[in-house]
Amino acid sequence: MPPFNKNESVNKQKLELLTYPNLPEKSLNDETGKTLPGDREYDNAMDTAQTQTERMTRFLAGDKSANGAFLVGVLTTGIYCLPGCPARKPLPRNIVFVESPAQAREMGLRACKRCRPDAFYAGRNPDGQQLTALAEAVRHDPGAFAHVSDIAAASPWGVTKLTGLFRAHYGVTPAAFLMQARVQAVVCLLRDPRRPVLEAGFEAGFDSASAFYRCFRQVTGCAPGEYQKRGFFSPHHAY
Ligand SMILES: [Zn+2]
């Protein structure tokens, strides 16, 4: 078979056969011709085959907009590339699709020196960088954020996207993150044994005594006054 290059039109059916030679045969209800229940395995295999076909099409076309969506491992040379790599395209039978640089390295593949996939992945998460800075600002001064909407206002995102990012990166909602940051700030303030407890709560951004006491107990397991008296941060004073 001649090598593919980006000038050749890609025959999708041929690619399906190349990438998925063992697709299970579809079983049909004889009377209706509809798929029988229990054919999920077939449907999953079809989804995978379609994804593989689409990836192959984009890779062979040198589609730069596919960079970041998946990686291409070349088994004959042992390297992995971005889909839009300008190097000559390998034979389709010699490639595998990989989800991440880490997965490619686990397979023993090396990063291509032309398209530099590792550099691409390292620089492509601006959301992550902005989120880290925002979370740091919240931890540093939770009293400056009265509500989750104030966190959103300090970010380039709306509350929905903000919530998704916090859940993905910190495993909690922005509201829970803010509450924990407040409690943490109070803990620091209460290292001073003369600091009035309630004043510390308000300074950290709690807007009512009841919310303060409830949240503090929820995070630390005890009341703020008790926490301060026990001198958790100076063990020789404890009890
Ligand atoms: Zn490359």
pLDDT digits (tens, 9 = 90+) for 126-166: 677 788 889 999 999 999 999 999 999 999 999 999 999 88
Residue 93 Cα to ligand 1 middle (Å) = 17
Considering only the top CATH level, what class is 61-124?
alpha beta
Residue 54 Cα to ligand 1 middle (Å) = 19
Residue 123 Cα to ligand 1 middle (Å) = 17
- Report how far residue 16's alpha carbon sits from residue 78's, in angstroms, rounded to the nearest whole number: 23
Mean pLDDT of 39-59: 77
- Report how far residue 96's alpha carbon sits from residue 109's, in angstroms, rounded to the nearest whole number: 11
pLDDT at res. 114: 93
Residue 86 Cα to ligand 1 middle (Å) = 7
Task: Write the CA distances from 181 to 5, 18, 26, 152, 219, integer angstroms.
Answer: 55, 54, 55, 16, 10
Residue 58 Cα to ligand 1 middle (Å) = 14
Task: Write the CA distances from 106 to 114, 164, 191, integer angstroms.
Answer: 21, 29, 47
Residue bearing the bigger pLDDT, 35 or 129: 129
pLDDT at res. 132: 85
Mean pLDDT of 25-30: 39
Residue 10 Cα to ligand 1 middle (Å) = 20
Task: Write the CA distances from 142 to 139, 167, 177, 204, 212, integer angstroms.
Answer: 6, 18, 10, 6, 13
Residue 160 Cα to ligand 1 middle (Å) = 36
pLDDT at res. 16: 37
Residue 168 Cα to ligand 1 middle (Å) = 30
Is it the case that residue 3 has pLDDT exceeding 50?
no
Q: With cut-offs at 50, 70 and 90, classify the pLDDT of residue 119.
A: confident
Residue 203 Cα to ligand 1 middle (Å) = 54
Task: Write the CA distances from 194 to 191, 197, 223, 232, integer angstroms.
Answer: 9, 9, 16, 14
C-alpha of 218 from chain center: 28
Mean pLDDT of 28-35: 42
Residue 81 Cα to ligand 1 middle (Å) = 4
Weakest mean pLDDT among 7-16, 46-55, 120-129, 193-202: 7-16
Q: Are 181 and 170 in contact (CB under 8 A)?
A: no
Q: Are 117 and 80 in contact (CB under 8 A)?
A: yes
Residue 52 Cα to ligand 1 middle (Å) = 19
Residue 73 Cα to ligand 1 middle (Å) = 9
Weakest mean pLDDT among 69-78, 81-90, 165-174: 165-174
Encoded amino acid at 55, one letter: R
Domain boundaries along the sequence of the chain: 61-124, 126-237
Residue 214 Cα to ligand 1 middle (Å) = 55
Weakest mean pLDDT among 19-23, 101-105, 127-131, 164-168: 19-23
pLDDT at res. 50: 75
Q: Looking at domain 126-237, which of 1.10.10.60, 1.10.3210.10, 3.40.50.2300, 3.40.50.300 is its CATH number?
A: 1.10.10.60
Residue bearing the bigger pLDDT, 18 or 231: 231
What average pLDDT does the chain have? 80
pLDDT at res. 125: 67
Residue 127 Cα to ligand 1 middle (Å) = 25
Residue 70 Cα to ligand 1 middle (Å) = 13
Residue 74 Cα to ligand 1 middle (Å) = 9
**Torsion angle defined by CA atoms of residues 174, 180, 182 and 187, in that order, rounded to the nearest 10 degrees:** -170
Weakest mean pLDDT among 11-25, 123-137, 189-203: 11-25
